C-alpha cells in the first residue's frame, strides 16, 4: 500500500467534506481539548450545544481551573459520564493555564490518556501524533485488511501525511460518515481503490455483553413553596450532583428514602452501559431531617444545578403533570 497516497486522499477528502464545528474555527487548544473530552462516549450532534454552552461559561483554561466543581458539573449536566468533567477540571488545574503541546506532557495530566493526548497534539498543534478511537480502528482494519496494530498503522499514516490535523480528523470523519460499522458506503469512499476489504467484514463482531433490566422507583416530593426534594451526592463518583430520592436499588448511591407514595406520574426508560432501567416516578411525602445531604431545589433554576439526565427526564414528566399535594 502506498501510504503517502492514502494519506493524501484522506487529507484532501477532509479539506472538502469536513463538517463545520465550533472547535474547528480556530483550533484553540483549550477548545479542542474540551471537545475531545465531550466526544468520548457522546455523539457529535449531542455535543455541539453542550460545547457552546460550556466554553461560553468557561472561555479559557484558566477560567475552568478557577471554577468550582459545582459550577463545572452544572455546565456538564445532561452530558453523562461525569467522571470526564471531573478529570477535565482536575487536569485544567494541573496544567497551570497552558495546554501542553506534546503527547508525553499531555499524558502526565489527570485523565488524559493516549487517545486524548494524541488528539490535542495533532488537532490543536498539528503534531505527528496518531490517534485511534473506535471509528479510526474500524477504518484502519478495513483498509489494511487486518485488525492488528492499529496504533502502529495510525502512526505510519500520520508520518506519511502533510497535515496531521487533517489526516487524523479525516480518518475519524470517514469512520463516522462513510465507513460506518454496518453497510459502509464504499462507492463514495475516497479510499475505495486502496482498501483491502471494501466491506464490513472487519472488524470481526465481538459477542455483545448481556444487558440487565431493572426497575427503580423515584420520588417527587415537594414543599409548600413548590420546591423539589433532592439528594446531593458526596461520594467519589458523583460529587456535587443532585438526584431525586429513590426506592430500593443498589445501582444508585445514597440510602433508599422511606416515603408514602401517592400517585404514579409515569415511567421512562434509561440505559446505563449494560443496564436497562425503567424508572417509575411517584409523587410522595416523606419526613427528612435537615442535613447537607438533602436540599429543597427550585426547579426553575435547574440549569445551575448539576443533575444527571435521568433526573431531567423525571422533572420533564413532572412539569407536564404538576402534582398538587405538598410534603407533610
Within its chain, how far is the Cα of 251 from the centroid?
20
Is 245 an interacting residue with respect to ligand SF4 (CB under 6 A)?
A: no
Indicate which single residue of 17, 93, 198, 227 sits in contact with ligand SF4 (rule: CB under 6 A).
198
CB nearer to ligand SF4: give 12 or 126: 12
The residue range among 26-34, 184-192, 223-231, 257-265 that interacts with ligand SF4, by the rule CB under 6 A, is 184-192
Indicate which single residue of 78, 130, 184, 245 sits in contact with ligand SF4 (rule: CB under 6 A).
184
Q: How far is the CB of 41 from ligand SF4 (least distance, A)?
A: 23
Is 91 an interacting residue with respect to ligand SF4 (CB under 6 A)?
A: no
The helix/strand/coil state of 265 is: strand
Q: How far is the CB of 155 from ligand SF4 (least distance, A)?
A: 18
Task: Provide the mask over 111-140, with x wherever binding to ligand SF4 is found by CB under 6 A and - wherever it is not.
Answer: ----------------------------x-
Indicate which single residue of 61, 123, 195, 315 sits in contact with ligand SF4 (rule: CB under 6 A).
195
CB nearer to ligand SF4: give 130 or 245: 130
Distance set, CA 36 to CA 19, 98, 123, 315 (Å): 15, 17, 10, 29
CB nearer to ligand SF4: give 175 or 308: 175
CB nearer to ligand SF4: give 197 or 283: 197
DSSP 99-111: --SSHHHHTTSTT
Indicate which single residue of 88, 189, 218, 315 sits in contact with ligand SF4 (rule: CB under 6 A).
189
**Residue 232, all three cell numbers:** 446531593
With CA atoms as reference, report the closest residue to 168 among 204, 107, 109, 125.
125
Q: How far is the CB of 29 from ligand SF4 (least distance, A)?
A: 30
Number of residues lying near ligand SF4 (CB under 6 A) = 15
Alpha-carbon span 52 to 87, nearest angstrom: 19
Alpha-carbon span 42 to 40, nearest angstrom: 6
Phi, psi of 71 (to 5 degrees): -65, -40
With CA atoms as reference, report the closest residue to 42 among 171, 176, 167, 150.
176
CB nearer to ligand SF4: give 196 or 295: 196
Decide if 204 contacts 147 (C-beta within 8 A).
Answer: yes
Is 191 an interacting residue with respect to ligand SF4 (CB under 6 A)?
A: yes
Catalytic residue list contains 210: no
Is 179 an interacting residue with respect to ligand SF4 (CB under 6 A)?
A: yes
Is 10 an interacting residue with respect to ligand SF4 (CB under 6 A)?
A: no
- Residue reference for cell 508520518: 159
Q: How far is the CB of 171 from ligand SF4 (least distance, A)?
A: 10
Is 186 an interacting residue with respect to ligand SF4 (CB under 6 A)?
A: yes
E strand or H helix at 229:
strand 228-232
E-assigned strand segments in 56-207: none
Q: Which of 11, 36, 173, 233 is catalytic?
A: 36
Distance set, CA 8 to CA 76, 157, 163, 194, 229 (Å): 37, 10, 9, 12, 58
* 3 burial level (CB within 10 Å; 0-12, 13-18, 19+): middle
Is 142 an interacting residue with respect to ligand SF4 (CB under 6 A)?
A: yes
Please list the active-site residues.
36
Binding stretches for ligand SF4 (CB under 6 A) = 139, 142-143, 178-179, 184-186, 189, 191-192, 195, 197-199
Amino acid at each position: 500500500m502506498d501510504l503517502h497516497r492514502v494519506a493524501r486522499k484522506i487529507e484532501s477528502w477532509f479539506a472538502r467534506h469536513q463538517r463545520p464545528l465550533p472547535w474547528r474555527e480556530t483550533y484553540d487548544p483549550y477548545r479542542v481539548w474540551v471537545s475531545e473530552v465531550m466526544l468520548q462516549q457522546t455523539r457529535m450532534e449531542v455535543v455541539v450545544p453542550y460545547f457552546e454552552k460550556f466554553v461560553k461559561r468557561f472561555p479559557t483554561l484558566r477560567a475552568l481551573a478557577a471554577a468550582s466543581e459545582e459550577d463545572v458539573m452544572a455546565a456538564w449536566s445532561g452530558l453523562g459520564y461525569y467522571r470526564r468533567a471531573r478529570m477535565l477540571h482536575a487536569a485544567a488545574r494541573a496544567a497551570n493555564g497552558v495546554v501542553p503541546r506534546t503527547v508525553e506532557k499531555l499524558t502526565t495530566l489527570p485523565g488524559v490518556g493516549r487517545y486524548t493526548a494524541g488528539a490535542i497534539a495533532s488537532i490543536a498543534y498539528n503534531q505527528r501524533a496518531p490517534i485511534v478511537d473506535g471509528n479510526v480502528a474500524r477504518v484502519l482494519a478495513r483498509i489494511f485488511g487486518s485488525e492488528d496494530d492499529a496504533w502502529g498503522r495510525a502512526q505510519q499514516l500520520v508520518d506519511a501525511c502533510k497535515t496531521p490535523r487533517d489526516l487524523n480528523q479525516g480518518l475519524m470523519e470517514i469512520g463516522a460518515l462513510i465507513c460506518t460499522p454496518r453497510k459502509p458506503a464504499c462507492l463514495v469512499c475516497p479510499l475505495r481503490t486502496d482498501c483491502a476489504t471494501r466491506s464490513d467484514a472487519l472488524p470481526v463482531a465481538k459477542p455483545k455483553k448481556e444487558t440487565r433490566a431493572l426497575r427503580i422507583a423515584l420520588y417527587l416530593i415537594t414543599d409548600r413553596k413548590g420546591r423539589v426534594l433532592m439528594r446531593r451526592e458526596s461520594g467519589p463518583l458523583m460529587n456535587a450532583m443532585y438526584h431525586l430520592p429513590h426506592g430500593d436499588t443498589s445501582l444508585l448511591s445514597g440510602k433508599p428514602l422511606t416515603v408514602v407514595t401517592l400517585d404514579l406520574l409515569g415511567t421512562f426508560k434509561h440505559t446505563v452501559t449494560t443496564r436497562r432501567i425503567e424508572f417509575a416516578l411517584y409523587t410522595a411525602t416523606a419526613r427528612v431531617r435537615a442535613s447537607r445531604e438533602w436540599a429543597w431545589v427550585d426547579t426553575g433554576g435547574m440549569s445551575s444545578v448539576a443533575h444527571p439526565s435521568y433526573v431531567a427526564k423525571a422533572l420533564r414528566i413532572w412539569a407536564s403533570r404538576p402534582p398538587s399535594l405538598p410534603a407533610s
